[in-house]
Amino acid sequence: MNIEYVKGEIYKKTWTEEFWGHNGAIHLARELYYELHTPEALMGLASTYYAAAGNAGAKAKSGNPASRFYWFIVALVCSIRALFSSSKVEGQVGLSNMTADQLDVRASILERVSLRGAAVSRINTALLKKLPIDTEVLLYAKKGILMHKLKNEAGAEVCFRNGHMLTRDVKPTTLVRFAKSRAIWRLESGDRSKAKMDFLAAKGIATEHGLKDQLEKIEPYLEELKDVDTNVVRWDYVFPLKN
């Protein structure tokens, strides 16, 4: 097996949402794990199951009742397999020895099955490590959303404040994702004006850097907030980048 080729195929098929069938991302990730039998490969399989669960969940929201039920079951099975695969990695490696990326994936999977307190714990462990600044900013954003869902608004505010303090040095993609996460938190918390401010900031950065996939995610929110007034004109008033 050409390991690097298979890894590339898994990444590509996950990105294009080609999860199913003999040549799908799940099959390839499973074959890679059977070949390597390493915690890294198993966490990769867990991540693929997690992404597939999201894809199946989206399919379960449309179509006829039989189709929706089928995809609901597929999403449930993939979520359970992601949970057990990532749990096995945590048991093999130990929480403190997991990489930040592994802890990030584990937190996402735990959130998917509504174990949000456990997800926050994994993010806290990741934040104790020496991290690339982009990773740190996105972890603060993820933790902020989780704290909001746990009804800890003060904790959410601290997370987004800490993340914002680091945004001057991050990549545009990271900045867009952080701004979008903070906007969602503000929107769900009822602060529609500041939410629109952040969505506009995210749109400005995404437009300037040609991030079309992010623009597609931002536009529906701005349509929802089209009648909300905000004083912000330029996105770099909100997120000034390093010169």
Classify residue 147 by its DSSP letter. H
Sign of the torsion formed by the C-alpha atoms of 68, 69, 70 and 74: positive
Q: Is the pLDDT of residue 232 over 60?
A: no
Tell whether 143 and 212 lie within a shared domain. yes
Last residue of a domain, one of 99, 124, 154: 99
Rg over CA atoms, the chain: 19
- The CA–CA distances, whole Å, from 170 to 163, 174, 176, 240 equal 10, 6, 10, 11
Tell whether 31 and 83 lie within a shared domain. yes
3-state secondary structure of 114: coil
Tell whether 146 and 233 lie within a shared domain. yes
Q: What is the pLDDT of residue 238?
A: 61
Answer yes or no: is 183 within a domain. yes
Question: What is the pLDDT confidence band of residue 230, given thresholds at 50, 70 and 90?
Answer: confident
Domain tally, the chain = 2
> What's the whole-number mean pLDDT along residues 220-239?
76
Classify residue 62 by its DSSP letter. S
Last residue of a domain, one of 81, 99, 117: 99
Question: What is the pLDDT confidence band of residue 243, given thresholds at 50, 70 and 90?
Answer: very low
Percent of the chain scoring above 90 in pLDDT: 88
Answer yes or no: is 4 within a domain. yes
Answer yes or no: is 241 within a domain. yes
Q: What is the pLDDT of residue 118?
A: 98
Q: Is the pLDDT of residue 212 over 80?
A: yes
Range of the domain at 219: 133-243
Answer yes or no: is 123 within a domain. no
Last residue of a domain, one of 52, 83, 99: 99
Answer yes or no: is 106 within a domain. no
